[in-house]
Chains A and B, each alone.
Chain A
Amino acid sequence: MDSLLDQSSLFLQQLVNGVTLGGVYALIAVGYTMVYGVIQLINFAHGEIYMLGAFLAYTMVTVFGIPFFAAFILTMLICSCFGIVLDFIAYRPLRKAPRLAALITAIGMSIFLQNLALMIWGSQIKSYPREVLPPILFKTAWSVGDVTLSWLQIFILSITVLCMAVLHLVIHRTKIGTAMRAVSQDKTTAALMGIGVNRVISFTFAVGSAMGGMAGILVGLYYNAIFPTMGYIAGIKAFAAAVLGGIGSVPGAMLGGGVLGIAEVMGAGYISSEYRDGISYAVMIAVILFKPSGLIGRQIREKA
């Protein structure tokens, strides 16, 4: 049996890794939850935007030779445009349609985008070439005993926290944020109050997609591997995080992301690494069965 010190350092390392992964899930989950808040639809294609972010940055860096941080910003911009376009062509025409139709469209878009990426980039796993990345990212920032924290992890964590803070400010202190909250509560009244509902929805998609794209690049850096089906897996996990925190609630998504990241890493480390993805599915199913409104979310009742 391992000594107590070994065990605790393993635990701490898992915790650090878990929080980092959780931050990434939170970034993606926020996109899901915001879109669900305003149009009550699960945007299955969100995972694909995350994947697209990773691949766009890769293409920019390898094919066009754009410096890394410029590519980072550029990818975020392109992803947010992409989110707006996605809403415009796929979801907006179906605003009045029954839920089933919108769900099917979302899944269709997701499958379409996955395979498009497969066609364009092939199915081989790619990674960001080391030359273009700032070398500091690979150095260890801090280590105590066996527990290490790399600059990359600090980078990811700080970006995540920064984004969450900015998002919180936007939602609660700006006009458009208030408009978003209004639309998510009652669309018709918001429209009557003079809020351009479609514009607010486009904005929501833009912000969510930008964060999703960014998460894609971060994961590509962290695991040093990107492949076209990564969106599908991460998308489901992020959705599980959003549901865990309470779908429609942004702080919930952040909390859910953190919890899920830690749970997954702990589970993979202590229980089994083959069922790693299964842990997310199990958490999601458990939350949906027990408490569909999640940790923070609210219940909605249909009027008879």
Chain B
Amino acid sequence: MREISLQANPGQIVGIIGPNGAGKTTLFNCFAGLYHPTRGQIEFLDSPVVPEFSEAMVKRVRRYAFFFLALGLIWLPLFWSFFLPGALFKLELVLLGVFILVIRCLLIRGLLRLQIWAWGLMFVFLLSDLCFAAWWLTHPFSPASLVGARIPVGYIAWPWGFVAGPFSIYLMIQLWVRRVRQLYGFRLRPDAICRLGMARTFQNIRLFFNLSVLDNVKIGCHAQMRTGLSGALLRTRVQREEEAATESEALEHLRFVGLEKRAFDLAGTLAYGEQRRLEIARALASRPRLLLLDEPAAGMNARESSRLIQLVLRIREKGITVLVIEHDMRVMMNLADHIYVLDYGRLIAEGTPDDVRSNPKVIEAYLGGGAAHAEA
């Protein structure tokens, strides 16, 4: 996918169309946080789902990470010289040293992948490096020899201390600088995005087939609930009230899509059209501000898709913005306020339904080159 620029305003129904393989579902997956784009920015309700970051910044972080790794490798023999006097060889200390090195490598990998836990843990390691470097710098004539060999450890430790100390401080400052800090932790995970208020359905129905219909919707409510382990185990009054409230809310959502009669059947026993509606109910249960519908009318006949159109319009009345991917043109024309057209991962047209319908590029994408000329 490249060069796609899309915007959805509150209260709109925005449609996305395009031939198969154009990248529509991939786009949804990026919005929902399941895929990470290599470049670009995604913002939802003024929170960056994928922050904008500059290449230069990332390159700088990479350089620092490798430097940190190199220092870490020298750190290992120093560690062993510290703890293993003379030529005595203790398996457990060797394993400990290797283990810490392995953690350092994992940390660097996390750092390079811009993961927030790595960023946090980095400070601990940098601090330990600082202390270690300070120790070596203040004990220049330590009698230890490098891992039992005949090299006095001071020859290695002093230069290392001189480099590692200031570097650790510098790196700590760098990681704290706002622009670098923003690189980490703002790649929101799909569940965090759900909590922010984005919910979705899937092209191939992804229900929890072995659970009851009601349970499916209750899981949709998951993001809005609060109780955790202790509540569940102790059955506190708060927990019991929340469970009851969730149950009635779930039934309410089922009533909204017209499935309350089937609330206690297993989701796998529902008819296809009902399953699609259940997915929508589950998505609505997380009280979203933005709803992503991926081909909701697929496989439906004319009557069912009319009911679907009514359902989506009622969803809009609730104040929820909707993004719809659809192949059924009748549904799309009746629903969308604004349409974006994708082909081969590129945005080829946008506008109101009428604009898009008569756009020659769109016709060409769907029907091939000849048809555009035929229309004209």
Contact = CB atoms under 8 A, between A and B. Distances in A.
Interface of A: 1, 271-272, 275, 286, 289-290, 303-304
A304 B206 CA distance: 9
Interface in B15-47: 25, 28-29, 32, 34-35
Contacts of B302: none
A272 B91 contact: yes
A272 B35 CA distance: 44
A131 to B, nearest CB: 42
B102 interface: yes
Contacts of B94: 271
Contact of A290 (B35, B87, B106): B106
B150 to A, nearest CB: 10
A286 B103 CA distance: 10
Given A303-B25, A304-B35, 13 more contacts: A1-B87, A271-B91, A271-B94, A272-B91, A275-B91, A286-B102, A289-B106, A290-B109, A304-B25, A304-B28, A304-B29, A304-B32, A304-B34
A304 B27 CA distance: 11
A272 B93 CA distance: 13
A207 B15 CA distance: 53
Contacts of A303: 25
Nearest to B28: A304
Please provide the 6 A-B residue pairs with the shortest distance between their CB atoms, ordered closest to farther: A304-B29, A272-B91, A304-B34, A271-B91, A286-B102, A271-B94
Contacts of A289: 106
Nearest to B32: A304
A304 B202 contact: yes
Contacts of A1: 87
A203 B91 CA distance: 45
- Secondary structure dominating the interface of A: loop
5 contacts: A286-B102, A289-B106, A290-B106, A304-B29, A304-B35
Contacts of B32: 304
A275 B92 CA distance: 11
B105 interface: yes
B48 to A, nearest CB: 21
Contacts of B25: 303-304
Contacts of B28: 304
Interface string B103-115: 0011001000000
A96 to B, nearest CB: 15
A275 B98 CA distance: 15
A1 B150 CA distance: 12
A140 to B, nearest CB: 31
Nearest to A289: B106
B298 to A, nearest CB: 16
A290 B103 CA distance: 10
A254 to B, nearest CB: 25
Contacts of A275: 91
Contacts of A290: 105-106, 109
A278 B247 CA distance: 50
B1 to A, nearest CB: 14
Interface in B55-113: 87, 91, 94, 102, 105-106, 109
Nearest to B102: A286
Nearest to A274: B91
B10 to A, nearest CB: 26
B19 to A, nearest CB: 17
Nearest to B35: A304
Contacts of A304: 25, 28-29, 32, 34-35, 202
A151 to B, nearest CB: 35
Nearest to B94: A271
B65 to A, nearest CB: 15
A4 to B, nearest CB: 12
A243 B102 CA distance: 18
